[in-house]
């Protein structure tokens, strides 16, 4: 394992940011730390980088205990949400910074900077100042700067959080391709579950300073370990005794399937190819159902009509808390 | 922007211009007129007096020392106030502003009490080791440092707060130690604020009167500074020379302000 975090605790005053966190992040992979804001994921990343100190617990990077190593000696690349560009230096100088600190020969630095700027598609901007770049370009420059020192691990703190939706999507695809080209162990923090699922090999879900679940995107989606994980990864609705995804509910016009529940369509909203229904069961519960426009048309769904709904076979489900409490 | 009707706008401008003119403009113009009343005669008289020339040299020396010391400590204290949390931080911040609110004469007296050679707290000990503070350059530098203490700090603090510590952390993660981060990242980022603080400190130090009058002992030809010479000449009915030296002091201050004004636009464009 590339990064081993063991029994790490961190408090800020009364606030518990991390509560006895232990996790191993695999070598050469892209791992996402996913969770809501204030859940402790950024703190964990900053502790790995040495920018914060854990109150207790140890951090091991590539087998070496780094708990008390100064951040500048950890050889860790860090990319900040707001880029943290060196404003008074050109793009090339920014990228060269870590190499100049290491007193590398000038020719070697120039070659490496060229190579990295090519990698992040910024060669033609080498002599510009960061203020002349767009947000996405600045973040690519920051990434090149972090990669220049050939870090053992690359840490990204909400790297696309400050960018608009379109650039964000482009950059995350680009990051995935970059990682396939330069397979350095990478950990990135995000609160966007779609981003984590799309980019990461492995996801660590963190909430309230604790790890909720560790797994591949599919594992998390198909077998959520808790209500929290299920809720966080997508929409959830309740049907009978189970909680499941609205698109995992099958709709029929007749009560043919075993275990189907009768319900009336209360609201029907169409969003592009998707049709979202809110249906009321005879028990007085409201259930959300999502289906496609084509399917909806073939069934002739209308508001006020009666349908029969069933959990799809193989749907990811967890027992509904409410029914447990009621029972 | 609040939009005002045109007559109100003009009235407001008139009030402001009249205020500045009566308070600053007119007195300075009159001073210049008096300095040049006999052509350059007053200047010739003033600068042929070795005591006046010596006082100017002393003023420049003391000011340069004060600027150097306050620049180093000012940047250091600004870093301390912005980047670190420690008990008593608010008290320190308030203490730094003290010289702005206390009369320089009081500062001079306070230094005299602590460092004088006969009854001061440290004075006798220091003089026993051959360091004479009061009526000598060290005391004069201390007094000047004291009165101009907040100028660099107060220029640098807001800039440090605004740039945040992201760049410094990035430099650290790239392998830079504290000194390298300071030299390559922090100092270039606060450069213009420091320059502005330095110029203000210089202007303030050149003109210091009250604290220096007490601490220097006003010894003609030895510890007398230019502002002290102005007073002496004026009291000795050599008004022409007093105006001439005053004009020179004003000229230096105006030059300082002009330099700063020329530097400022560069800051916003870079």
**CATH code (residue B194):** 1.10.3720.10
Q: Which residues of A touch B163 (CB under 8 A)?
A: 87
Dihedral pair phi/psi, residue A10, rounded to 5°:
-150, 130
Whether A56 has its CB under 8 Å from any CB of chain B: the answer is no
Whether A312 has its CB under 8 Å from any CB of chain B: the answer is no
- Is residue A36 within 8 Å of residue A30, measured between CB atoms? no
| pLDDT tens digits for range B38-88 | 888 889 888 899 999 999 999 999 999 999 999 999 999 999 999 998 999
CA-closest candidate to residue B83, choices B158, B160, B154, B159: B160
How close does chain B come to A26, measured CA to CA in Å?
21
Q: Is A284 helix (H, G, I), strand (E, B) or coil?
A: coil
**Residue B143 buriedness (CB in 10 A; 0-12 / 13-18 / 19+):** buried
Please check whether residue B146 lies inside any domain of the structure.
yes
For chain B positions 187-216, those within 8 Å of chain A (CB to CB) are 188-189
Name the residue among A80, A87, A101 with its Cβ closest to that of B189. Answer: A87
* pLDDT < 50 positions in chain B: 267-270
Q: Is B79 helix (H, G, I), strand (E, B) or coil?
A: helix
ipTM of this complex:
0.81
Name the residue among A73, A82, A86 with its Cβ closest to that of B185. Answer: A86
State the pLDDT at residue A258. 80
Rounded Cα distance between B170 and B167, Å, is: 5
Beta-sheet strands, E only, within B36-130: none
Rounded Cα distance between B152 and B138, Å, is: 21
Rounded Cα distance between A253 and B229, Å, is: 105
Please check whether residue B28 lies inside any domain of the structure.
no
Q: How many domains does chain B have?
A: 1
Rounded Cα distance between A263 and A265, Å, is: 7
Whether B170 has its CB under 8 Å from any CB of chain A: the answer is yes
Please check whether residue B186 lies inside any domain of the structure.
yes
Bridge partner residues of A311 (DSSP): A249
Q: Which residues of A touch B270 (CB under 8 A)?
A: 88, 129
Please check whether residue B109 lies inside any domain of the structure.
yes
- Is residue A48 within 8 Å of residue A189, measured between CB atoms? no
Q: Which residues of B touch A76 (CB under 8 A)?
A: 173
* pLDDT < 70 positions in chain A: 1, 321-327
Name the residue among B169, B175, B180 with its Cβ closest to that of A84. Answer: B169
Please check whether residue B11 lies inside any domain of the structure.
no
How close does chain A come to B87, measured CA to CA in Å?
15
State the pLDDT at residue A1. 59
Considering the entire predicted model, what is its pTM?
Answer: 0.80
State the pLDDT at residue A321. 62
Residue A125 token pair: 């901007």
Whether A267 has its CB under 8 Å from any CB of chain B: the answer is no
Cβ distance of B180 and A80 shorter than 8 Å: no
Cβ distance of A98 and B188 shorter than 8 Å: no
How close does chain A come to B180, measured CA to CA in Å?
8
From residue A298, give the alpha-carbon distance in Å to each of A246, A293, A302, A313, B13.
19, 9, 11, 21, 75
- Is residue A311 within 8 Å of residue A304, measured between CB atoms? no
Rounded Cα distance between B20 and B26, Å, is: 9
- Is residue A194 within 8 Å of residue A232, measured between CB atoms? no
Rounded Cα distance between A87 and A89, Å, is: 6
State the pLDDT at residue B121. 80
**Angle between helices B187-207 and B239-269 in degrees, nearest 10:** 170
Rounded Cα distance between A200 and B269, Å, is: 41
Rounded Cα distance between A38 and A209, Å, is: 8
- Is residue A265 within 8 Å of residue A302, measured between CB atoms? yes
DSSP state of A161: T
Rounded Cα distance between A117 and A96, Å, is: 10
Helices (H) and strands (E) in chain B, counts: 15, 0
Q: Which residues of A touch B176 (CB under 8 A)?
A: 72, 97, 101
| pLDDT tens digits for range A2-53 | 899 999 999 998 999 999 999 999 899 999 999 998 889 999 999 999 999 9
Rounded Cα distance between A146 and A138, Å, is: 12
Domain coverage including residue B84 = 49-269
Cβ distance of B175 and A149 shorter than 8 Å: yes
Whether B83 has its CB under 8 Å from any CB of chain A: the answer is no
How close does chain A come to B81, measured CA to CA in Å?
19
Please check whether residue B34 lies inside any domain of the structure.
no
Q: Which residue has the tokens 């945040």?
A: B164
| pLDDT tens digits for range B210-235 | 999 999 988 888 889 999 999 999 99
**Angle between helices B166-173 and A135-148 in degrees, nearest 10:** 30
Please check whether residue B41 lies inside any domain of the structure.
no
> β-strand A153-157 against A185-190: which pairing, if any?
parallel
> β-strand A306-311 against A249-252: which pairing, if any?
antiparallel
State the pLDDT at residue A162. 82
**Residue A115 buriedness (CB in 10 A; 0-12 / 13-18 / 19+):** middle
CA-closest candidate to residue A91, choices A148, A154, A151, A133: A133
Q: Which residues of A touch B188 (CB under 8 A)?
A: 88
Whether A82 has its CB under 8 Å from any CB of chain B: the answer is yes
Residue A250 — left, alpha, or beta (φ > 0 → left; ψ -120 to 50 → alpha)?
Answer: beta
For chain A positions 93-132, those within 8 Å of chain B (CB to CB) are 97-98, 101-102, 129
Please check whether residue B264 lies inside any domain of the structure.
yes
């Amino acid at each position: 394992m590339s990064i081993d975090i063991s029994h790490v605790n961190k408090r800020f005053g009364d606030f518990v940011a991390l509560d006895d966190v232990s996790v191993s992040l695999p070598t050469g992979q892209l791992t996402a730390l996913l969770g809501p804001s204030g859940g402790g994921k950024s703190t964990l990343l900053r502790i790995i980088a040495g920018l914060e100190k854990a109150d207790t617990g140890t951090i091991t990077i590539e087998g070496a205990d780094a708990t008390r190593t100064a951040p500048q000696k950890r050889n860790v690349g860090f990319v900040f949400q707001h880029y943290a560009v060196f404003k008074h230096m050109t793009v090339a100088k920014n990228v060269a910074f870590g190499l100049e600190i290491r007193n590398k020969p000038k020719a070697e630095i120039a070659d490496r900077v060229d190579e990295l700027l090519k990698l992040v598609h910024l060669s033609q901007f080498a002599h510009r100042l960061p203020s002349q770049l767009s947000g996405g370009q600045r973040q690519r420059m920051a990434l090149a700067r972090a990669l220049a020192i050939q870090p053992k691990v690359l840490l990204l703190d909400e790297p696309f959080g400050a960018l608009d939706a379109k650039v964000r999507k482009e950059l995350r695809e680009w990051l995935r391709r970059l990682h396939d080209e330069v397979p350095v162990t990478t950990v990135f923090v995000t609160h966007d579950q779609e981003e984590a699922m799309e980019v990461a090999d492995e996801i660590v879900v963190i909430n309230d300073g604790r790890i909720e679940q560790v797994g591949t995107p599919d594992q998390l989606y198909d077998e959520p370990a808790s209500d929290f994980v299920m809720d966080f990864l997508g929409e959830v609705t309740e049907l009978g005794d189970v909680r499941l995804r609205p698109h995992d509910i099958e709709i029929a016009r007749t009560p043919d399937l075993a275990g189907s529940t009768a319900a009336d369509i209360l609201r029907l909203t169409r969003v592009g190819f998707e049709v979202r229904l809110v249906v009321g069961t005879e028990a007085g519960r409201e259930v959300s159902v999502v289906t496609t426009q084509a399917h909806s048309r073939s069934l002739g769904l209308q508001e006020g009509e009666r349908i029969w709904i069933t959990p799809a076979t193989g749907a990811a489900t967890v027992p509904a808390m409410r029914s447990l409490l009621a029972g | 922007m609040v939009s005002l009707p045109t007559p109100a706008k003009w009235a407001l401008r008139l009030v402001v211009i009249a205020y500045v003119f009566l308070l600053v403009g007119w007195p300075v113009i009159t001073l210049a007129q008096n300095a040049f009343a006999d052509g350059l005669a007053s200047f010739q008289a003033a600068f042929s007096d070795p005591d006046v020339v010596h006082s100017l040299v002393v003023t420049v020396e003391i000011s340069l020392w004060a600027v150097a010391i306050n620049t180093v400590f000012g940047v250091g204290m600004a870093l301390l106030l912005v980047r670190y949390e420690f008990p008593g931080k608010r008290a320190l911040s308030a203490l730094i502003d003290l010289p702005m609110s206390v009369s320089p004469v009081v500062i001079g007296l306070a230094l005299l009490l602590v460092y004088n050679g006969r009854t001061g707290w440290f004075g006798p000990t220091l003089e026993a080791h051959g360091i004479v503070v009061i009526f000598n350059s060290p005391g004069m530098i201390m007094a000047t440092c004291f009165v101009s203490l907040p100028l660099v700090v107060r220029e640098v603090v807001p800039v440090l707060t605004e740039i945040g510590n992201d760049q410094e952390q990035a430099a650290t993660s790239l392998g830079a130690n504290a000194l390298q981060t300071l030299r390559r990242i922090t100092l270039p980022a606060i450069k213009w604020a420091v320059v502005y603080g330095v110029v203000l400190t210089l202007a303030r130090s050149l003109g210091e009167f009250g604290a220096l009058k007490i601490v220097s002992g006003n010894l003609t030809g030895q510890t007398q500074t230019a502002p002290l010479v102005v007073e002496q000449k004026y009291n000795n009915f050599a008004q022409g020379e007093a105006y001439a030296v005053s004009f020179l002091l004003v000229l230096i201050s105006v030059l300082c302000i002009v330099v700063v004004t020329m530097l400022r636009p560069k800051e916003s464009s870079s």
